[in-house]
Amino acid sequence: MTVLLETRHLIKHFRGVKAVNGIDLTLLTGCCFGLLGPNGAGKTTTVEILEGIQQPTSGTIRYLGEALGPRFRQDIGIMFQSTALQDHVTGRENLQMFASFYQRRLPLDALIEACALGEFLDRDTRKLSGGQRQRLLLAIALVNDPELIFLDEPTTGLDPQARRNFWELIHRIKARGKTILLTTHYMEEAYHLCDEIAIMDHGKIIAQGTPRKLLATHFDDVVLQLPLADFPDPAPPLAHPVVYGRDTVDILTQDVGATVQELLAYNIPLARLLIRPRTLEDLFLELTGRELRT
């Protein structure tokens, strides 16, 4: 795999605030790279700099070893979280307009079939459902057969079926050797789709690696989860950390057998006990905190 996009010490200031504070990223060809972070972490600014929409205050970005230029514009596809399309114009006309912007184009019929646009292609874009609209926006992002595709929270607001359907589309794009930069708030989505992820907070990358490697690096325990109603109050003095959720209690342990014995010793009902491995969401919350971001 070769280096497709590379940034070195990217910095972006907004009126004295460092939105991006020294980001180094390397995207390899054919890789799906996930950029995660809480609201206000600097993720959108970073992605917009990578897309060439914003200029960094300092630092360098190179695409195939060159500064971003006309070739980069021809080679990328972008799907914003909420791209507005022209009113009163059909999906087909939108596709045709965007296709005309590029030298290289995918055959529209193939694109229409790949993204399953057939049934609503000639409908006014204002009359599309959320899932249909996202599929059309993905098709627009792919219209130039891009080497690098930016997907900014592409499944936000979609129902589970539409989200699974969208994942399938992304898998097919990956199978064609395309490089994807994905931002999402769904950890399950990142785990399912990404080969590598970076977690950002306060303008910096605070963790980076493959999902499995990140979990293995940060955690050596599993979670024993009980409904809050089944857990005694006051809590018994367990030998393991206990994390209270809204409706559940998580007991973090490296020795499931011993912990279960301990719970039985306190007569805690285990009928609804759930044992699960650590997830990206656990890692995300551990690294970025649990307080609400706006």
Choose one: 9-17, 95-103, 113-121, 286-294; the region binding other proteins (CB under 8 A).
95-103
Q: Where are the alpha helices (DSSP H) in the chain?
A: 43-51, 70-75, 91-100, 108-114, 130-142, 160-175, 187-193, 211-218, 256-265, 280-288
Tell whether the torsion through CA atoms of 69, 70, 71 and 72 is positive or negative: positive
88 vs 212 by CB, closer to other proteins: 88
Contact (Cβ atoms closer than 8 angstroms) between residue 151 and residue 181:
yes
The least distance separating other proteins from the CB of residue 242, rounded to whole angstroms, comes to: 45
Choose one: 29-37, 45-53, 155-163, 211-219; the region binding other proteins (CB under 8 A).
45-53
The least distance separating other proteins from the CB of residue 267, rounded to whole angstroms, comes to: 58
Indicate the residue type of 27. L
Tell whether the torsion through CA atoms of 68, 69, 71 and 75 is positive or negative: positive
Instruction: Tell me if 87 contacts other proteins by CB under 8 A.
Output: yes
Choose one: 47-55, 105-113, 151-159, 175-183; the region binding other proteins (CB under 8 A).
47-55
The residue assigned the tokens 């590598």 is 196
Instruction: Tell me if 86 contacts other proteins by CB under 8 A.
Output: yes
The least distance separating other proteins from the CB of residue 53, rounded to whole angstroms, comes to: 6
Q: Which of 46, 94, 132, 253 binds other proteins (CB under 8 A)?
A: 94
Instruction: Tell me if 226 contacts other proteins by CB under 8 A.
Output: no
Chain residues 103-162 in contact with other proteins, contact rule CB under 8 A: 124
Dihedral angle, C-alpha 20, 25, 31, 36, nearest 10 °: -30
Contact (Cβ atoms closer than 8 angstroms) between residue 27 and residue 181:
yes
Choose one: 19-27, 76-84, 152-160, 187-195; the region binding other proteins (CB under 8 A).
76-84
Cα 28 to Cα 63, 64, 179: the distances in Å are: 11, 10, 7
Choose one: 98-106, 186-194, 235-243, 265-273; the region binding other proteins (CB under 8 A).
98-106
Alpha carbon distance 257, 109 (integer Å): 57
Q: Which of 11, 102, 116, 269 binds other proteins (CB under 8 A)?
A: 102
The least distance separating other proteins from the CB of residue 101, rounded to whole angstroms, comes to: 4
Alpha carbon distance 24, 46 (integer Å): 11
The least distance separating other proteins from the CB of residue 88, rounded to whole angstroms, comes to: 4
Instruction: Tell me if 15 contacts other proteins by CB under 8 A.
Output: no
Give how many residues touch other proteins by CB under 8 A.
26
Choose one: 12-20, 34-42, 75-83, 114-122; the region binding other proteins (CB under 8 A).
75-83
Alpha carbon distance 157, 131 (integer Å): 9
Contact (Cβ atoms closer than 8 angstroms) between residue 182 and residue 151:
yes
233: DSSP letter: S
Q: Which of 2, 16, 84, 292 binds other proteins (CB under 8 A)?
A: 84
Alpha carbon distance 50, 62 (integer Å): 9
Alpha carbon distance 60, 268 (integer Å): 57
The least distance separating other proteins from the CB of residue 152, rounded to whole angstroms, comes to: 11
Indicate the residue type of 35. L
Question: Rule CB under 8 A: which residues touch other proteins?
Answer: 51-53, 70, 73-74, 76, 78, 80, 82-89, 93-94, 96-98, 100-102, 124
